[in-house]
């Protein structure tokens, strides 16, 4: 049985992968989460174009519109479908703009952390021995602190700003990537094609770059997706606690925090709708990442 498959794998492999792709992407959960993700991304990218108002243009925002309930008409005639906040900003527009900030921070930090983690993991796996021990102990130390605590301390020192939030999130996350990459790369490192490359006396850089990297990167694709969702929630938490992004460029987290004071006075929408948006985004990314994991792991997909 097994041997039959090996012998005919030459022409079945491609077909198998294509089949798995089709099968996976036609499943409702994949379609739903993927579609939602796509929509969210579009909203974030085109926020200035599709938002009914610009909530941060002080010339437009009027205090007269403060705390309008969802569906009420604002002073200048536009309908605030999701209501307005305490300063009279349209919640829908604020969500779209907030999404932009949230996604920017999450994607940037995930990517930078990925690159740093990838480098550290590959170097540790390739050189082994003391290099490996040294780098992995740093990773251990990093991972032994709760992410939110490290981020809080860092931001307290660095101050506010989108760039600072990204730096904090990178520092919090790189170690996870490093450890994952190392685990895969250490297996690949022992395979014979790496020995063959060593026999060709290629430089270490070339072996890492052309042989080790392409074969160790696939688990990271999934991890990066899931970590993006994670960094959105960390960022939201930080902003909610008031140490995240500056007040001039609020993210979903700061919007939730803004409305928190009004919840008891009945203006639930200021907190609720950004909260739902946050939940939907994170859930969509997580579900999509999970589907991706199943898809890329031949053991989980039959």
Partner 1 sequence: MTKLLEIKNLNVSFSSRLGTIKAVHGVSITVQAGEVLGLVGESGAGKSTIGNAIINLIEPPGKITDGEVWFKDKNLRKLNENEMLNIRGQKIGMIFQDPQTSLNPVMTIGTQLLETINKTKKLFGKLAYHNAIELLQSVGIEQPEARMKAYPHQFSGGMRQRVVIALALAGDPDLIIADEPTTALDVSTQAQILDLIRALCIERRLGVIIVTHDMGVVANIADRVSVMYRGSIVETGDVKYILSTPHHPYTKSLLAAVPRGDVKIKRFTSIDYIEGGAHKQKRIAVAEHWLGEKLVDNKSKVAISITDLNKKFVLKKALFKQNRLYNQAVKDVSFSITTGETFGIVGESGSGKSTVARLVAGLLSIDKGSVKLFDKEIANVPKNRQVVAVQSELQMIFQDPFSSLNSKMSVEDIIAEPIRYYKTAGSEDKMKQIIGDLLDHVGLGKNAALKYPHEFSGGQRQRISIARALAARPKILICDEPTSSLDVSVQAHILNLLKDLQDELNLTILFISHDLPVIRQMCDRVAVMRHGSICEIAKTNDLFNAPNHSYSKHLLNIMPKIDLFA
Residues in contact with partner 1 by the rule CB under 8 A:
1-4, 6-13, 15, 19, 191-193, 195-202, 206, 210-211, 214-215
CB 289 within 8 Å of CB 229:
yes
- What are the residues whose beta carbons fall under 8 Å from the beta carbon of 58, sequence distance 6 or more? none
Q: Measure the CA–CA gap between 291 and 297, rounded to whole angstroms.
A: 10
Token pair 């992407």 is at which residue? 25
The least distance separating partner 1 from the CB of residue 2, rounded to whole angstroms, comes to: 7
- Closer to partner 1 by Cβ: residue 32 or 196: 196
Closest by CA position to 47, among listed 12, 81, 95, 89: 95
- Closer to partner 1 by Cβ: residue 8 or 131: 8
Q: 186 in helix, strand or coil?
A: helix
**Residue 167 token pair:** 């730096």
- Closer to partner 1 by Cβ: residue 153 or 196: 196
The least distance separating partner 1 from the CB of residue 68, rounded to whole angstroms, comes to: 56
The least distance separating partner 1 from the CB of residue 26, rounded to whole angstroms, comes to: 15
Cα dihedral angle (119, 121, 127, 133), rounded to 10 degrees?
130
- Closer to partner 1 by Cβ: residue 49 or 199: 199
The least distance separating partner 1 from the CB of residue 204, rounded to whole angstroms, comes to: 11
Closest by CA position to 37, among listed 226, 165, 177: 226
- Closer to partner 1 by Cβ: residue 78 or 215: 215
- What are the residues whose beta carbons fall under 8 Å from the beta carbon of 281, sequence distance 6 or more? 37, 40, 99, 102, 103, 229, 232, 252
The least distance separating partner 1 from the CB of residue 177, rounded to whole angstroms, comes to: 19
Inter-axis angle of helices 91-127 and 162-189, nearest 10: 40
The least distance separating partner 1 from the CB of residue 82, rounded to whole angstroms, comes to: 47
- What are the residues whose beta carbons fall under 8 Å from the beta carbon of 272, sequence distance 6 or more? 259
The least distance separating partner 1 from the CB of residue 127, rounded to whole angstroms, comes to: 13
Inter-axis angle of helices 147-158 and 218-240, nearest 10: 60
Token pair 């301390």 is at which residue? 153
- Closer to partner 1 by Cβ: residue 14 or 29: 14
- Closer to partner 1 by Cβ: residue 65 or 188: 188
- Closer to partner 1 by Cβ: residue 27 or 198: 198
Closest by CA position to 166, among listed 121, 218, 216, 101: 101
Instruction: Measure CA 283 to chain center.
Output: 11
The least distance separating partner 1 from the CB of residue 10, rounded to whole angstroms, comes to: 5
């Amino acid at each position: 049985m097994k041997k039959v498959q090996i012998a005919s794998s030459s022409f079945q492999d491609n077909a198998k992968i294509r089949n798995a792709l089709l099968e996976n992407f036609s499943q409702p959960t994949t379609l739903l989460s993927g579609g939602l993700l796509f929509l969210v991304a579009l909203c974030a990218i085109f926020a200035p174009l599709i938002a009914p108002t610009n909530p941060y243009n002080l010339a437009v925002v009027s205090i007269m519109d403060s705390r309008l309930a969802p569906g009420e008409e604002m002073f200048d005639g536009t309908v605030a479908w999701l209501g307005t906040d305490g300063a009279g900003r349209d919640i829908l527009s604020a969500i779209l703009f907030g999404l932009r900030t949230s996604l920017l921070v999450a994607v940037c930090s995930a990517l930078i952390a990925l690159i740093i983690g990838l480098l550290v993991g590959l170097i540790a796996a390739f050189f082994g021995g003391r290099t490996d021990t040294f780098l992995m102990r740093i990773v251990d130390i990093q991972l032994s602190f709760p992410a939110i605590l490290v981020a809080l301390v860092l931001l307290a020192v660095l101050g506010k700003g989108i760039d600072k939030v990204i730096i904090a999130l990178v520092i919090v996350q790189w170690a996870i990537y490093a450890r994952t990459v190392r685990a895969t790369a250490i297996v690949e490192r022992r395979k014979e094609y790496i020995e063959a490359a060593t026999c060709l006396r290629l430089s270490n850089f070339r072996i890492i770059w052309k042989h080790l990297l392409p074969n160790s990167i696939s688990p990271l694709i999934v991890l990066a997706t899931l970590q993006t969702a994670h960094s959105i929630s960390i960022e939201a938490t930080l902003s909610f606690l008031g140490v995240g992004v500056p007040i001039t460029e609020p993210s979903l987290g700061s919007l939730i925090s803004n409305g928190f004071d009004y919840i008891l006075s009945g203006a639930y929408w200021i907190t609720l709708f950004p909260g739902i948006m946050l939940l939907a985004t994170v859930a969509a990314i997580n579900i999509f990442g999970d589907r991706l994991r199943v898809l890329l792991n031949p053991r989980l997909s039959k």
